[in-house]
Homo-oligomer: A and B are copies of this chain.
């Protein structure tokens, strides 16, 4: 396994590596969810292909300086995980090598990124699009694997690939969860013990809304109220957003008549967790 920090060195290694090249873009702090993405990439690349993992805490997608500063960076453990899951190339650039001091070009998305995480994190998805496009173009990836946990991110990236004619196949991988249902996240390790114990209510509350729909309740207001009650019953949880949107264009819906997504972001102290559930009428 080669570990490369220099962008042009990474490009050179990726260009001469066996094809197909499957990329797994991450911000490090790899947990079982990421490991599942790398395993999926290994399966897709096959024995002759190449699995490239990028580990880069992308500063331009953080809207809060304290969130960026607090983001864990356990590089040594990450490299052990990459190696164990069969990665061939790991790209670990410094921010200064990815972004020129006078950089002035950004990829912007103006529809799917408007609400949900985009509403409360201005510029976040533009930062995501910009870095992901750079990673696609540096690696020349044939395909790239992303977790479905970040479902809005996945939708925005698919849209970018479509609208800019990027020649890469985007593969979504189901959310990996702890035994108690909490979606795996690099931020989970920052939760206080009492917050960690409380956090599975997020998933339970989304399931409660889905069960209500299963019982025939289609108006969004009722489904949102059920999920909200479940989360707000906590002494710790503070809802950042809770929205019910169309599964395709991510715009809010009044009733569930087509596939929709109930999505939430919840603060426990300074730690912000996201989760979602797909609702089918």
Binding site for B on A (CB under 8 A): 7, 11, 99-100, 102-112, 129-130, 133-134, 137-138, 140, 159-160, 162-167, 249
> Which B residues touch A100, using CB under 8 A?
162-163
* A108, A111, A163: residue with the most chain B Cβ atoms closer than 10 Å: A163
Instruction: Determine how close the nearest CB of chain B comes to the CB of A261; give it in whole angstroms.
Output: 18
- CB of B102 within 8 A of CB of A111, answer yes
Residue of B nearest to A134 (CB): B165
Using A137-B167, A138-B165 as known contacts, say yes or no to A108 and B105 having CB atoms under 8 A apart.
yes
Residue of B nearest to A7 (CB): B165
Interface of A is mostly: mixed
Residue of B nearest to A103 (CB): B163
How far, in whole Å, are A204 and B140 apart by their CA atoms in the complex?
47
> Which B residues touch A106, using CB under 8 A?
107-108, 110
> Which B residues touch A134, using CB under 8 A?
164-165
> Which B residues touch A103, using CB under 8 A?
163
How far, in whole Å, are A110 and B107 apart by their CA atoms in the complex?
11
How far, in whole Å, are A249 and B101 apart by their CA atoms in the complex?
13
Other than the given A100-B163, A137-B164, 9 more pairs (CB < 8 A) read: A7-B165, A11-B167, A100-B162, A104-B110, A104-B112, A105-B107, A105-B129, A106-B108, A138-B165
Instruction: Determine how close the nearest CB of chain B comes to the CB of A53; give it in whole angstroms.
Output: 18
Number of copies: 2
> Which B residues touch A130, using CB under 8 A?
164
> Which B residues touch A109, using CB under 8 A?
104-105
Instruction: Determine how close the nearest CB of chain B comes to the CB of A2; give it in whole angstroms.
Output: 19
In the assembled complex, 6 residue pairs joining A and B whose CB atoms fall closer than 8 Å, in A order, are A11-B165, A103-B163, A104-B110, A105-B129, A108-B108, A134-B165
Residue of B nearest to A104 (CB): B111
How far, in whole Å, are A249 and B162 apart by their CA atoms in the complex?
32
> Which B residues touch A249, using CB under 8 A?
102
> Which B residues touch A129, using CB under 8 A?
105
How far, in whole Å, are A134 and B164 apart by their CA atoms in the complex?
5
- CB of B166 within 8 A of CB of A137, answer yes
How far, in whole Å, are A138 and B138 apart by their CA atoms in the complex?
16
How far, in whole Å, are A160 and B137 apart by their CA atoms in the complex?
12
How far, in whole Å, are A111 and B100 apart by their CA atoms in the complex?
13
Closest 4 CB pairs of A and B: A104-B111, A105-B163, A137-B165, A134-B165
